[in-house]
Structure 1
Amino acid sequence: MNRGNVKIVSLNADNWYDCCELEVSKEQKEFIEPNAISIAQTKFELTLKPYAIYAEEKVVGFLMYNSVQEELDGYWVYRIMVDKQFQGKGIGKTATKLMMLEMATSDNAKKIVVGYHPENLGAHKMYASLGFIDYGDRFGKEMAVVKYITD
C-alpha cells in the first residue's frame, strides 16, 4: 500500500533487520520500545501486524497494529516510528494514514485506538491532526485516543 513516495510493506526477510537498526531521537527514546522488541513481540502475539515504512524505496520507519479488537472495542496501534534522520517530513503521518486504511478493512472495524505517553507532544500533535480524540481513557502511563472509522 503506498501514497506518493511513502509505502508500508509487511515485515519480511528483506526488511526486518533494517527496521531493527532505526532509531528515534534521544528525547523520544523514553516513549517507545526498540523495534527489535516489537518484532519479537509479533512472534508470540500472532494477531500483531508489523510493517516497514519506506520512503523513496528506503526503510525509514516501522509500525505495528493488532488485527483483533481489544480494549475500548477498538483496533489498537502498537507502534509507529520514523528514524530520527527522516522525521519532520510527513512520512509518519502518511504511513499512519496508509495503516488506517488497512485497519479499516478488518472485520467490524469501527474505531482505531492509539496509546501513547501524555508527554510525547509529537505523537499528540500527529494523532490530533488525523482526527483522533482524547475521551479521557488511560491505561497505566499511557493515554488512549480514538478515531472512529466512517464509511
Structure 2
Amino acid sequence: WTGAGNSLRMARLREHLPDLRARTLTRRAVPVESATPLSEALRRANEAGARALVVVDGQGNPKGVVREAAIVGVPEHRRPWVAVSGLAQDLTDGMKVPAELAGEALLDRLKATPATEYLVVEETGEIYGVLSTADVERAFVKAMARPGA
C-alpha cells in the first residue's frame, strides 16, 4: 500500500508542478532607496497596492529585498526612524529569479539558494516583484491537496 500511495503522490506532484509559476506567485513590489524610512516605504507600497519592498541604488538597480519578518519586528512607533537598508537582505545572483520560471525548474532554483524572499526579474532585468518562499509553499500544498489528481 505504501508504494501505491507514493506512486499516486508522485503522479499528483508531476501533474501540478507546472502550475507553480514565478510570475503568478510574485508579490508586487515598490523600489525604495536604502535611506528611506520604513514608514515612508510602507506608505508607498500601500499606495501602489504592493506587498513587498526592493532596495535600489540611485540608478534604480536592485540591491536587496526587505524581509517581511523584519518589517513585522519593527514597532509602528519606530518605523519613521528605521531605514529600510537595515531590514533588507542583500541580493545574491541566486536570489534573482526569472519571471518565466515554473514547475520543477522554479523549485530547483529556490532549493539551490535558500532564502525567504527572492527578486523576480523580467528578461530585460527589470524588477517584476518579490517571490516569497511562504507563498510558494502554500501554492504547492494547495496544489497537492486538490482532489481528483
Structure showing the higher helix proportion among its residues = 2
Structure showing the higher strand proportion among its residues = 1
Q: TM-score, normalised by structure 1?
A: 0.25
Structure with the greater alpha carbon radius of gyration? 2
